[in-house]
Amino acid sequence: MTATASPPHSPERSPRRRGAGLALLGPAFVAAIAYVDPGNVAANLTAGAAHGYMLLWVLVAANASAVVVQYLSAKLGVVTGRSLPEHLGLRMRRTPRLLFWAQAEIVAAATDIAEVIGGALALYLLFDLPLVVGGIVTGVVSMVVLSLHSRRGTRAFETVVTAMLAILTIGFCAGLLFAQVAPGELVAGLVPRFDGAGSVVLAASMLGATVMPHAVYLHSALARDRHGDVPAGPERRRVLVATRWDVALALIVAGGVNVCMLVLAAATLPGVPGTDSIPGAQRAIAEHVGPTVGVLFAVGLLASGLASTSVGCMAGAEIMRGLLHVRIPLVVRRLVTLVPAIVLLAVDADATMLLVVSQVVLSFGIAFAIVPLVVYTSRRSVMGEDVNTVTTRVVAGVIATVIVALNVALVVLTLAG
C-alpha cells in the first residue's frame, strides 16, 4: 500500500487512438451495472409485490435523474482528467476529507454487501449452495474479473461487464413475455404518490438502488481512464457527444430492466404468500409464469451479483485513492471487503432485508456525491469552456434538492412510525 499525490491518470489509449463512434462507448455500460445490482432486485420486487404499480414513477424519475448525474460525472472526468474523488481530495482539508471518505466507504460497504449477498442467493437458487459458500464463490469470481482489468486493461473489462449486463437483461425481462400486465394500472403508476411511511421507505430504497453514489464517483474515473486528457475544441466536443450517447443508451437498458422487474412483480406477486424474500419471489415467479422464467431470473441475479460486486470494488478503490491518496491492489481490497458480507451470511441474517436496508443506506450517500459534482461542473475555473449551462445547473440543482428532500422525509416518517 503506497501513498501518492494523486496525479491525473495516464490514459489507456493515446489521444491519437481514441477512435470514433461505437469505439468511444463503454464506460457508461460499466457504471450502469450499479443500477441493476441485487439491491435493485430486492427493492423493485418488494415494491411491486407490496404496492403493485404505484411506485413505478419513482423508477422513471430516478432513471431520468441518473442520466443527468452520470453524464456530469463522465463529463468531469473527460474535461479535467481527474475523477470526482480526486477533485474532492485536492480541495478538502484533512479532517473533512477523512469524514467524507468515511461516509463514502460506508456507502461502498453497503453496496458490496448487497452485491455479494445477491450472488450468494442466485447460487442458492440455481445450485442449492449454502449462502456462505455462495458468497465466497461470488467473491472469488469477482477477483478473477478484477484481475482481468489489471492484466488486460479497461476495454477487456468493459467487454466482460457489458456481456453480463446483456445476460441479466434477458434474465430479468424474460418474464414479461408471459405475465398478464394491466395497462391501465401501469399508466396510473406513473402518477407520483405514496401510501404511508412504508411506501416512502421503499421509494428511498429504490432511489438508492437507482441513483448510485459509488457509480457517480466511479464514472468520472472510467471516463478519465478511457479518454485521457482530451484537448479543448472539436476533439473534446466529439468525445462529449459520444459520452452523452453512451450514458443515454446504457441507462435506457438499466432503467428498462428495473421497470421490467417492478412490473413483473406487480403483475404476478401481489397477494402471493412468501414473496417478501428474493427466493420466495423467484419461486412464485416460477410457479405463476413458468419454471424456465424462474431459472432465467436466477441467472440474471447471478450475472448482476458477479458484475456489480466487481464494479463496486473498483469504485471503493477509486474513492480511497482520490480522497486518501492511497492505492491498494483491487484483489486485496476485494478480500477485505468480502468479510462483512460473509459474516452476515454466516449469522443467518435476513438476506432480502439486508439488500433493502443497504439501498436505504445508499440513498443517504447520494447527496454527498451529487452536490459536489454539480458544484464542480458548474465552475468555470474547473471546467473551462465546458462549464454547465444555466439550464443544466437548474436541472441538476432540482435533482439534488428532490433527493435530499426525499431522504429527510424518509427519516421523519421512519422515526414517526
Q: In angstroms, what CA-CA distances link 341 with 87, 110, 120, 307?
A: 30, 9, 10, 16
CA-to-CA distance for 274 and 284, rounded, in angstroms? 8
Q: What is the largest CA-CA distance in the chain?
A: 59
* Residue that the C-alpha cell 501513498 belongs to: 3
Q: In angstroms, what CA-CA distances link 59 with 7, 173, 206, 256?
A: 37, 15, 7, 9
In a domain, 50, yes or no: yes
Reduced 3-state DSSP string for 59-111: HHHHHHHHHHHHHHHHHHHHHHCCCHHHHHHHHCCHHHHHHHHHHHHHHHHHH
Side-chain-side CA neighbours of residue 231 (13 Å): 6
CA-to-CA distance for 321 and 308, rounded, in angstroms? 20
In a domain, 4, yes or no: no
Contact yes or no for 35/66 (Cβ under 8 A): yes
Contact yes or no for 53/321 (Cβ under 8 A): no
DSSP 8-state code for residue 3: E
In a domain, 213, yes or no: yes
Q: Give which of 49, 112, 121, 35 is closest to 299, Cα–Cα.
A: 121
* Residue that the C-alpha cell 437458487 belongs to: 125
Residue type, 365: G
Contact yes or no for 75/376 (Cβ under 8 A): no
CATH of the domain at 193: 1.20.1740.10
DSSP, collapsed to helix, strand or coil, labels residue 130 as: coil
Looking at the structure of the chain, the number of domains it has is: 1
- Tell me what pLDDT residue 359 has: 66
* Residue that the C-alpha cell 460506508 belongs to: 106
pLDDT of 299-325, one tens digit each? 999 999 899 888 888 888 899 999 998
- Tell me what pLDDT residue 23 has: 62
Total-model pTM: 0.87
Residue type, 276: D
Residue type, 243: T
In a domain, 11, yes or no: no
- Tell me what pLDDT residue 145 has: 86
Over the chain (417 residues), what is each successive 10-residue block's mean pLDDT?
42 46 76 85 86 93 92 96 95 93 86 86 94 93 84 82 92 90 93 84 74 89 87 90 94 94 92 80 88 93 90 89 88 84 86 72 82 95 95 91 74 62
pLDDT of 56-89, one tens digit each? 999 999 899 999 999 999 999 999 999 999 999 9
- Tell me what pLDDT residue 3 has: 39
CA-to-CA distance for 131 and 239, rounded, in angstroms? 44
In a domain, 12, yes or no: no
- Tell me what pLDDT residue 337 has: 82
Residue partners of 108: CB distance under 8 A and separation at least 6: 214, 312, 315, 316, 319, 337
In a domain, 9, yes or no: no
CA-to-CA distance for 350 and 338, rounded, in angstroms? 18
DSSP 8-state code for residue 285: H
* DSSP assignment string, 304-320: HHHHHHHHHHHHHHHHH
Q: What are phi and psi of 125, to 5 degrees?
A: -70, -35
CA-to-CA distance for 52 and 68, rounded, in angstroms? 28
In a domain, 7, yes or no: no
CA-to-CA distance for 394 and 133, rounded, in angstroms? 48
Element (H, E) at 244: helix 234-268
Side-chain-side CA neighbours of residue 193 (13 Å): 9
Q: Domain of residue 257: give its range.
A: 19-416
123 burial level (CB within 10 Å; 0-12, 13-18, 19+): buried
DSSP, collapsed to helix, strand or coil, labels residue 2 as: strand
Which cell numbers in the block locate residue 91? 480541495
Q: Give which of 31, 75, 335 is closest to 213, Cα–Cα.
A: 31
